[in-house]
């Protein structure tokens, strides 16, 4: 028996590779990339991107063999008929004002948005199941996504990949601003990588360093892409991104010179053998007039120049597959040295950034204010603003005011009729700016949040203030979180904009360009798409004193019992005058005497 | 409540309120004051304790050691300030940026309601500078504030120096979970108020200010620092804010914890903590502290920059460095360590400070009086007003309701003797009424007494009181007349019928004496009824009845004397 099994296995082993070899070459590929960007503030941002592309129709074909593409996610796509999935887990806040425009920002906490195929009948049910499954995969509290924090944006979140129709009823979007991200979320994310954290760039992903930063954001993006230039068939793309910002003051002990080892306490020793491409890019663009504010060691063999986010950038490129860069005998430890320290200068301000806060004081009402800054000296551009506010802040929509430069800025003044949602980011900005758009979906208590989407034209060199007043609702006592005095989170506003470029970008080959440049589809060379998030807000609600329910119950019961009884008595009883009984012992004695005398008693 | 539904007891209570009003008021007032003073003594003052779990243990190791840096920064600040004559904004911005903060400024101006004579100004304008330390991996939802208010003269430089040195130290730490705002305000409280209003985007006081460019979420707590010397002998903590508002007691407990930990000398209202609670000195000192605190609160004005934060639900206190003539001095490192410890603990907070008391009085730094214990004192003082009001109301009630009731009662109820006899119509009428009244003679007495009752304006029905009143009033004449008619049998002879009259035998005796003289009988009042009364059977049958009557009178006298006669003044309801 045992021999038979052994022979059977041997046959299988022989047949297996042979069968594979006869089929077409592996249809999936991995590209990995690390971009190191010294930030204007002196900090350093590192962005990892791992892209697995799979030339397979996950939806149509029954797929059982997974090679590079993680099976957990592949099955998810076919089971829930997903068209796109975007999940990000973020700890910290990308400070656009000081760090510049990010490649890909994510809101603090957890963000999940998904497009479903048009074959899905019950989108809400699929969405609920999807969030629960993802919650298990990523060890995150995504199961807290329910109807009270899910919205269906009409304009802000368009599919990033291939899409035929954009019927937004198949889109769901939710943010959990309270989610805390830690190593327990990083480990399952790393496990999805083909090389895990054994080789290639992923050896740098050491949790104790990644969580020793100012900003940590990890994300998973799944979308369908064109398989070839003519787009005759569809491939699936999984992008795993991880961005961290190292703080010069904390991590570098005040020194602003960086090296891979200083950042990650690791150096690069070998490429991932499964990777088709494995590169490190270092931003060596000089900002000032004089050349070379930054020096990189070892000197790069090649450089790459392109227009990234509207400005011309130069990158030093290190190809890990090149034996001259990394070999068995040498490891790669890229070092950055500032020739002229960037400190004590106001950093260059990005064209678009935003700030959000709660104004007012007291626990009854308040105001949500969002400041949108357009620092472009002469170009106005439109911004699509999305606000999702929990139901317990009752928005007064009539108080919605938008002011730019002291004048009211009506979002829909150009078209009185509700215009069709401008399909961002695929369409041209002229189309957007020609018409206004505003969409408001009121909240239902304990059912759904407020959704407010507006297309706002930001005048050149201006600050636009969007404010709306709200009233704080009184929750039921079981609806308070375990630490109610901490406050309640309001998820960040989302800004989607086509920001004018300083330098026109050349349309290049999308598949060949570096990963950090191919995240959002570019349709126009004169502007670039940016999605920014504001900070989440913490709002205090009127909170009862939970620490003394016993006292309160006792006091209330006593007061009700005592006061009710006696007041009821007093109010309903009729009083009659009664002859008071006179005297005590003495009177009784006197009466005795009187009786003896024969006199009537008293 | 049974007390109020029982008319007799209610009456007694009302009588008490009316009669003893003034003494009660005085008593209540004195009791209030006494209670208040007693608050300073140990059974009523409790030791403070930390309620907030997140700040519970003091497992924080302070590492601030940059005293030299603080001093040199303070010197620089003073020099720059002297040079520019105002807040050296550029220098502050540069310094804050160099230690790694996000720096913003805010300009403000305010027209004073009346010209400031001492500084010869009508319009105040200034610039606030603040730097935000962004906590790593936090989304700027919560923040703490360390503020240094700078006045027009060059005080508080050391506070600026210490704040900047602390900022530099804090910036290098990894444990911050909340952003920290380092705020330097110009023109003391004006600047603080301008900044707070701009931060919360409200305009309460008509301040004109530029909008803030940087914010850091909801401010959880704030500490204002005032230091004007390189060394301090003690730190004074100020809690009283705008309109007497107080920060949560836990914030003060936190400060006190680090005072003890660092061995700092800390004072409250400029007074040290009393060491000896057993002798009289300790409590006396705490009484002084307590009174000073109440006085400061009553003034309603904020006694430090922290006072303005309280309106925005930000728990705050002011630390004031005092440099007196004591031998032992502390340098800035000690103060900095206390501040570092406080901020690290506040950084641990999960929720806003809410666990401990918001209403309290402080007889010493480590002792407090909770609202439950000091409210009785205020209650006693307020009781005086209540008592007075009650008295007025009752008098009003008497005057307004009396006649109606009086009009009703005689018809419906059995006739009663006039209650006010002694006062309004003299002893005689009272006597007559009493003698004739009672259940025995309904018709006549009612008719007789009706106008009288109207006159008195008081309701009837106080047989009880009437007796007493009459008794007291009658006793004198009776005593006078008795010797005259000492010869009992002889006095009986003309008016055989007289002594029988009274329903109460006690009145019979003096009545007898009076009635014996025909001319003295009330005009057409009692006379007739007297005649109708049956004669005393035992009248002429020897000494025994007399003795019995005497005994009866004595007994009743004892009974009545137990009740004070003036009670009869009260209306009967």
Q: Whose CA is closest to B30, among B362, B383, B355? A: B383
Kindly report the nearest CA distance between residue B125 and chain A, in angstroms: 23
Q: Taking a C-beta distance cutoff of 8 angstroms, is the pair B308, A361 a contact? A: no
Under 8 Å CB pairs connecting chains A and B tally to: 156
Q: Which residue out of A355, A361, A490 would a mutagenesis test of the B interface target, given it has the greatest number of B Cβ atoms within 10 Å? A: A361
DSSP assignments along A120-154, one per residue? -S-HHHHHHHHHHHHHHHHTS-GGG--TTTEE--S
Contact B201 A360 (CB under 8 A): yes
Kindly report the nearest CA distance between residue B120 and chain A, in angstroms: 34
Q: How far apart are CA B315 and CA B222, in angstroms?
A: 6
**Which residues from chain A sit within 8 angstroms of residue B555, using beta carbons?**
586-587, 589-590, 593
**Which residues from chain B sit within 8 angstroms of residue A254, using beta carbons?**
172
Task: Using the CB atoms, write b or e for A145-156: b if 16+ within 10 Å.
Answer: beebbbbbbbbb
Contact B137 A590 (CB under 8 A): no
Q: How far apart are CA B222 and CA B213, in angstroms?
A: 20
Q: Which of A82-96, A245-259, A432-446 is the most confident on average?
A: A82-96
Kindly report the nearest CA distance between residue B19 and chain A, in angstroms: 22
Contact B217 A587 (CB under 8 A): no
Kindly report the nearest CA distance between residue A342 and chain B, in angstroms: 11
**Which residues from chain A sit within 8 angstroms of residue B52, using beta carbons?**
none
**Which residues from chain A sit within 8 angstroms of residue B201, using beta carbons?**
357, 359-360, 367, 369
Kindly report the nearest CA distance between residue B256 and chain A, in angstroms: 24
pLDDT of residue A482: 85
Residue of B213, B536, B556 lying closest to A586 (CB–CB)? B556
**Which residues from chain B sit within 8 angstroms of residue A538, using beta carbons?**
141-142, 217-218
Contact A599 B536 (CB under 8 A): yes
Please state, in angstroms and as integers, the Cα–Cα distance from residue A311 to each residue in A287, A332, A500, A504, B444, following that order.
11, 29, 10, 8, 118
Q: How far apart are CA A383 and CA A456, in angstroms?
A: 5
Q: State pLDDT tens for residues A421-437.
A: 444 443 333 444 445 68
- Conformational region of residue B82, where left means phi above 0, alpha means psi within -120 to 50, and beta covers everything else: alpha
Kindly report the nearest CA distance between residue B559 and chain A, in angstroms: 6
DSSP assignments along B341-398, one per residue? HHHHHHHH-SS-S-SS-SSEEEEETTEEEEHHHHHHHHHHHHHHHHHHHHHHHHHHHH
Contact A586 B503 (CB under 8 A): no
The pair of structure tokens assigned to A103 is 């490649």
Residue of B nearest to A600 (CA): B503
**Which residues from chain B sit within 8 angstroms of residue A484, using beta carbons?**
351
Q: State pLDDT tens for residues B190-232.
A: 899 999 999 999 988 888 899 898 999 999 999 999 998 888 9
**Which residues from chain A sit within 8 angstroms of residue B214, using beta carbons?**
355
pLDDT of residue B52: 85
> Average per-residue pLDDT in chain B?
74
Strand partners, A372: A354, A464
pLDDT of residue B542: 55
Q: How far apart are CA A293 and CA A287, in angstroms?
A: 8
DSSP assignments along A258-319, one per residue? EEHHHHHS--B----TT-SEEEEEEE----SSSS-SEEEESPPSEEEEEEETTEEEEEEEEE
Residue given tokens 């050149």 in the structure block: A460
**Which residues from chain A sit within 8 angstroms of residue B171, using beta carbons?**
249-250
**Which residues from chain A sit within 8 angstroms of residue B4, using beta carbons?**
566, 570
Contact A562 B503 (CB under 8 A): no
User: pLDDT class for B293, splitting at 50, 70, 90?
Assistant: very high
Residue of B217, B313, B461 lying closest to A577 (CB–CB)? B461
Q: State yes or no: pLDDT of B568 exceeds 60.
A: no
Q: State pLDDT tens for residues A510-524.
A: 667 787 777 777 666
Q: Taking a C-beta distance cutoff of 8 angstroms, is the pair A274, A297 a contact? A: no
Predicted model pTM: 0.78
B525 phi, psi to nearest 5 deg:
-105, -75
Residue of A247, A485, A593 lying closest to B136 (CB–CB)? A247
Q: Taking a C-beta distance cutoff of 8 angstroms, is the pair B543, B511 a contact? A: no
CB-count burial class (<10 Å; 0-12, 13-18, 19+) for B331: middle
**Which residues from chain A sit within 8 angstroms of residue B200, using beta carbons?**
359-361
Q: How far apart are CA B465 and CA B473, in angstroms?
A: 12
Residue given tokens 């100004």 in the structure block: B121
Q: What length does chain A have?
A: 602
Residue given tokens 């914890």 in the structure block: B257
Residue of B nearest to A369 (CA): B201
Q: How far apart are CA A458 and CA A402, in angstroms?
A: 10
Q: How far apart are CA A156 and CA A387, in angstroms?
A: 10
**Which residues from chain A sit within 8 angstroms of residue B198, using beta carbons?**
none
**Which residues from chain B sit within 8 angstroms of residue A598, using beta carbons?**
537-538
Q: Is A400 helix (H, G, I), strand (E, B) or coil?
A: strand
**Which residues from chain A sit within 8 angstroms of residue B554, using beta carbons?**
none
CB-count burial class (<10 Å; 0-12, 13-18, 19+) for A271: buried
**Which residues from chain A sit within 8 angstroms of residue B471, using beta carbons?**
none
Contact A361 B102 (CB under 8 A): no
Q: Can you point out the beta strands (E) in A285-408?
A: 294-297, 302-308, 311-319, 335-338, 352-359, 365-374, 381-389, 393-404, 407-408
Q: How far apart are CA A318 and CA B138, in angstroms?
A: 33
Q: Taking a C-beta distance cutoff of 8 angstroms, is the pair A382, A498 a contact? A: yes
Residue of B nearest to A485 (CA): B351
What share of chain B in percent tops pLDDT 90? Answer: 32
Q: Which of B16-20, B454-458, B495-499 is the most confident on average?
A: B16-20
User: pLDDT class for B58, splitting at 50, 70, 90?
Assistant: low
Contact A586 B558 (CB under 8 A): yes
Q: How far apart are CA A118 and CA A24, in angstroms?
A: 31
User: pLDDT class for A160, splitting at 50, 70, 90?
Assistant: confident
pLDDT of residue B546: 65
Residue of A nearest to B6 (CA): A575
**Which residues from chain A sit within 8 angstroms of residue B134, using beta carbons?**
95, 214
Relative to beta strand B142-150, strand B218-226 is parallel
User: pLDDT class for A354, splitting at 50, 70, 90?
Assistant: very high
Q: Whose CA is closest to A56, among A42, A46, A69? A: A69
Kindly report the nearest CA distance between residue A392 and chain B, in angstroms: 18
Residue of B nearest to A487 (CA): B351
Residue of B136, B461, B504 lying closest to A214 (CB–CB)? B136
Q: Taking a C-beta distance cutoff of 8 angstroms, is the pair A497, A523 a contact? A: no
Contact B139 A484 (CB under 8 A): no
Kindly report the nearest CA distance between residue A150 and chain B, in angstroms: 21
Contact A583 B137 (CB under 8 A): no
CA A32-A33-A36 angle, 5° bins: 160
What share of chain A in percent tops pLDDT 90? Answer: 34
Residue of A nearest to B312 (CA): A361
Q: State pLDDT tens for residues B123-173.
A: 888 999 999 999 988 889 999 999 999 887 768 889 999 999 999 999 888
Residue of A213, A538, A596 lying closest to B141 (CB–CB)? A538
Strand partners, B102: B132
What share of chain B in percent tops pLDDT 70? Answer: 67
Q: Whose CA is closest to A123, among A61, A59, A170? A: A170
Q: Taking a C-beta distance cutoff of 8 angstroms, is the pair B430, B423 a contact? A: no
Contact A587 B5 (CB under 8 A): no
Q: Is B176 helix (H, G, I), strand (E, B) or coil?
A: coil
Q: Is A532 helix (H, G, I), strand (E, B) or coil?
A: strand
**Which residues from chain A sit within 8 angstroms of residue B308, using beta carbons?**
none
Contact B2 A566 (CB under 8 A): yes
The pair of structure tokens assigned to B403 is 């006649």
Q: Which residue out of B4, B101, B140 would a mutagenesis test of the A interface target, given it has the greatest number of A Cβ atoms within 10 Å? A: B140
CB-count burial class (<10 Å; 0-12, 13-18, 19+) for A331: middle
pLDDT of residue B513: 37
Q: Taking a C-beta distance cutoff of 8 angstroms, is the pair A216, A210 a contact? A: yes
The pair of structure tokens assigned to A201 is 């760039």
Kindly report the nearest CA distance between residue B186 and chain A, in angstroms: 23
Kindly report the nearest CA distance between residue A250 and chain B, in angstroms: 5
Q: State pLDDT tens for residues A289-315.
A: 555 667 888 888 888 888 888 888 889
Contact B5 A577 (CB under 8 A): no
ipTM of the complex: 0.84
pLDDT of residue B413: 39
Residue given tokens 């003289």 in the structure block: B517
Q: State pLDDT tens for residues A356-396.
A: 999 998 889 999 999 999 998 888 888 999 999 999 999 99
């Amino acid at each position: 028996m045992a021999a038979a099994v052994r022979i059977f296995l041997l046959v299988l082993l022989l047949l297996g590779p042979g069968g594979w070899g006869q089929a077409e070459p592996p249809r999936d590929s991995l590209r990995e990339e690390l971009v190191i960007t010294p930030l204007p503030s002196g900090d350093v941002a590192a962005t990892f991107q791992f892209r697995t592309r799979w030339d397979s129709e996950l939806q149509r074909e029954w797929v059982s063999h997974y090679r590079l593409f993680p099976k957990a996610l592949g099955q998810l796509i076919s089971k829930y008929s997903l068209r796109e999935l975007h999940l990000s887990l973020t700890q910290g806040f990308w400070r656009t004002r000081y760090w510049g425009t990010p490649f890909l920002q994510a809101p603090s906490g957890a963000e999940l948005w998904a497009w479903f195929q048009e074959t899905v009948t019950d989108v809400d049910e699929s969405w609920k199941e999807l969030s629960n499954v993802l919650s298990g995969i990523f060890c995150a509290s995504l199961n807290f996504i329910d109807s009270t924090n899910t919205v269906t944006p009409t304009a802000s979140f368009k599919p990033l990949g291939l899409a035929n129709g954009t019927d937004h009823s198949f889109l769901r979007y939710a943010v959990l601003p309270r989610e805390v991200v830690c190593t327990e979320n990083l480990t399952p994310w790393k496990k999805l990588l083909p090389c895990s954290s054994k080789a290639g760039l992923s050896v740098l992903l050491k949790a104790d360093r990644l969580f020793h930063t100012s900003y940590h954001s990890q994300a998973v993006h799944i979308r369908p892409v064109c398989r070839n230039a003519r787009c005759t068939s569809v491939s699936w793309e999984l992008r795993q991104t991880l961005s961290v910002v190292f703080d010069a003051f904390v991590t570098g002990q005040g020194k602003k010179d960086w090296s891979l080892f200083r950042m990650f306490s690791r150096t690069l020793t070998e490429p991932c053998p499964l990777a088709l491409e494995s590169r490190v890019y270092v931003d060596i663009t000089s900002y000032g007039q004089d050349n070379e504010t930054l020096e990189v060691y070892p000197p790069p063999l090649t450089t790459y120049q392109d227009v990234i986010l509207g400005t011309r950038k130069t990158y030093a490129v290190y190809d890990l597959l090149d034996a001259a860069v990394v070999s068995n005998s040498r490891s790669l430890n890229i070092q950055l040295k500032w020739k002229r320290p960037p400190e004590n200068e106001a950093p260059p301000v990005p064209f678009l950034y935003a700030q959000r806060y709660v104004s007012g004081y007291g626990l009854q009402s308040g105001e949500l204010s969002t400041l949108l800054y357009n620092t472009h000296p002469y170009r106005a551009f439109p911004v699509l603003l999305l606000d999702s506010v929990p139901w317990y802040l009752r928005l007064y929509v009539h108080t919605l005011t938008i002011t730019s430069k002291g004048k009211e800025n009506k979002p829909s003044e150009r078209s009185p009729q509700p215009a069709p949602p401008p399909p961002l980011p695929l369409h041209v900005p002229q189309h957007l700016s020609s018409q206004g758009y505003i969409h408001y979906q009121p909240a239902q208590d304990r059912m759904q949040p407020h959704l407010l989407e507006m297309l706002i034209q930001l005048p050149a060199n201006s600050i636009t203030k969007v404010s709306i007043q709200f009233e704080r609702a009184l929750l039921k006592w079981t609806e308070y979180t375990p630490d109610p005095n901490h406050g309640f989170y309001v998820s960040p506003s989302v800004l989607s904009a086509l920001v004018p470029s300083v330098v026109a970008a050349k349309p290049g080959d999308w598949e060949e360009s570096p990963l950090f440049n191919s995240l959002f589809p570019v349709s126009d060379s004169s502007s670039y798409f940016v999605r920014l998030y504001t900070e989440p807000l913490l709002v205090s609600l009127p909170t009862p004193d939970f620490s003394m329910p016993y006292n309160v119950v006792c006091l209330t019961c006593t007061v009700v019992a005592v006061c009710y009884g006696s007041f009821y008595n007093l109010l309903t009883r009729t009083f009659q005058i009664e002859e008071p009984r006179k005297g005590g012992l003495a009177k009784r004695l006197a009466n005795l005497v009187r009786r003896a005398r024969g006199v009537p008693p008293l | 409540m049974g007390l109020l539904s029982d008319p007799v007891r209610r009456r007694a209570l009302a009588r008490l309120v009316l009669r003893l009003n003034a003494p009660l008021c005085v008593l209540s007032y004195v009791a209030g004051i006494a209670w208040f003073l007693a608050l300073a003594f140990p059974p009523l003052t409790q030791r403070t304790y930390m309620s907030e779990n997140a700040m519970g243990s003091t497992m924080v190791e302070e590492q601030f050691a940059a005293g030299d840096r603080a001093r040199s920064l303070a010197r620089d600040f003073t020099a720059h300030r002297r040079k520019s004559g105002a807040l050296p904004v550029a220098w502050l911005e540069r310094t804050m940026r160099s230690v790694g903060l996000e720096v913003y400024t805010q300009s403000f101006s305010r027209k004073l309601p009346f010209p400031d004579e001492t500084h010869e100004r009508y319009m105040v304008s200034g610039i606030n500078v603040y730097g935000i330390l962004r906590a790593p991996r936090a989304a700027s939802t919560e923040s703490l504030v360390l503020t240094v208010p700078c006045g027009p003269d060059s005080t508080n430089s050391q506070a600026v120096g210490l704040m900047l040195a602390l900022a530099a130290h804090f910036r290098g730490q990894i444990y911050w979970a909340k952003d920290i705002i380092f705020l330097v305000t110009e023109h003391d409280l004006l600047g603080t108020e301008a900044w707070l209003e701009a931060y919360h985007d409200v305009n309460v006081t008509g301040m004109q200010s530029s909008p803030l460019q940087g914010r850091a979420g909801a401010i959880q707590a704030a500490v204002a620092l005032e230091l004007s010397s390189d060394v301090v002998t003690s730190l004074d903590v100020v809690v009283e804010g705008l309109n007497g508002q107080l920060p949560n007691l836990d914030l003060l407990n936190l400060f006190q914890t680090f005072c003890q930990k660092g061995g700092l000398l800390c004072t409250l209202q400029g007074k040290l903590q009393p060491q000896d609670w057993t002798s009289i000195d300790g409590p006396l000192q705490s009484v002084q502290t307590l009174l000073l605190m109440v006085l400061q609160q009553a003034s309603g004005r904020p006694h430090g920059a922290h006072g303005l934060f309280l309106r925005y639900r930000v728990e705050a206190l002011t630390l004031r460095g005092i440099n007196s003539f004591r031998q032992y001095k502390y340098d800035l490192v000690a103060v900095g360590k206390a501040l570092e410890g406080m901020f690290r603990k506040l950084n641990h907070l999960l929720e806003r400070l809410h666990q401990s008391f918001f209403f309290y009085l402080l007889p010493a730094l480590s002792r407090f009086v909770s609202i439950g214990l000091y409210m009785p004192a205020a209650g006693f003082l307020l009781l005086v007003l209540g008592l007075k009001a009650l008295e007025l109301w009752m008098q009003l009630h008497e005057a307004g309701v009396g006649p109606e009731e009086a009009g009703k009662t005689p018809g419906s109820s059995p006739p009663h003797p006039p209650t006010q006899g002694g006062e309004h119509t003299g002893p005689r009428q009272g006597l007559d009424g009493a003698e004739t009244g009672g259940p025995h003679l309904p018709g006549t007495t009612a008719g007789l007494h009706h106008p009288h009752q109207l006159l008195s304006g008081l309701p009837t029905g106080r047989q009880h009181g009437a007796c007493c009143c009459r008794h007291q009033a009658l006793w004198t004449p009776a005593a006078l007349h008795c010797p005259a008619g000492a010869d009992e049998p002889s006095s009986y002879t003309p008016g055989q019928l007289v002594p029988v009259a009274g329903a109460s035998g006690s009145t019979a005796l003096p009545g007898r004496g009076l009635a014996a003289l025909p001319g003295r009988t009330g005009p057409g009042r009692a006379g007739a009824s007297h005649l109708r009364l049956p004669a005393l059977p035992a009248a002429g049958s020897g000494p025994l009845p007399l003795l019995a009557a005497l005994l009866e009178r004595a007994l009743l006298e004892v009974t009545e004397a137990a009740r004070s006669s003036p009670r009869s003044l009260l209306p009967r309801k």
